[in-house]
Structure 1
């Protein structure tokens, strides 16, 4: 599903495509990609709205699973900690937030598995 009917966000398939494209850009441009998974927010719709309103427009906010949102961010330096901190401010303390950053050398499935297991 390209777009999630409940939230209006990109769905799982579109997230995977954007992640793959972001990793290619990171390899060719020397940038970084951070994937953040937000598990079990109090209200999925409220969290989705807050993320879309509070994050940069070039970040992808997607619905990854039933109770999981994802944020995909491309950036020039650092790691995902500033991005995850901003997400924490936007969605509150109750959801679990896991993130992973890659310079483009990771496969999309490996990035997702790493974020899920952190």
Structure 2
């Protein structure tokens, strides 16, 4: 499913495609990709709304799993800590947030697995 019917956000399949494309751009342009997973069991719709409204338009906010949202961001330098901090500011303290940054030399499945296990 390309778009999630509950949130209206890109769904799992579209997120994977965008992640793969972002990793290719990172490899070829020398940029970075940060994937942030946000577990929001009590307020998924509110978290989706707040993230979509509060993040840059070129960031992808997607529904990754039933209660997990994903944010995919491409950037020129640094790591994912400023992006993670902004997401924490937007969604509050209760959701769990896990993130990983890649230079594009990692397979999409490995990027996701690393973020899930942090």
* Fold equivalence (TM over 0.5): yes
Q: 5 Å matches for 1:33-112?
A: 33-112=33-112
Q: Relative to 1, partners in 2 of residues 1:41 and 1:77: Cα closer, same or farther, differing over 3 Å?
A: farther
Count of matched residue positions in the alignment of Structure 1 and Structure 2: 118
Q: Matched residue of 1:97: which SS?
A: strand
**Any stretches of 5+ residues in structure 2 without a counterpart?**
none
CA RMSD of aligned residues (A): 0.6
1: CA distance, partners of 2:104 / 2:66: 27
Q: Deviations over 1:31-81 (max 9, x none)?
A: 000000001343101000000000000000000000000000000000000
Q: Tell me the TM-score normalized by structure 2.
A: 0.99
SS of alignment partner, residue 2 of structure 2: coil
- Kindly provide the CA deviation profile for residues 7-41 of structure 1, in whole angstroms up to 9, marking residues without a partner as x: 00000000000000000000000000000000134
Decide whether the 8 Å contact of 2:40 with 2:47 is kept in 1.
Answer: no
Task: Give the TM-score of the pair, scaled to structure 1.
Answer: 0.99
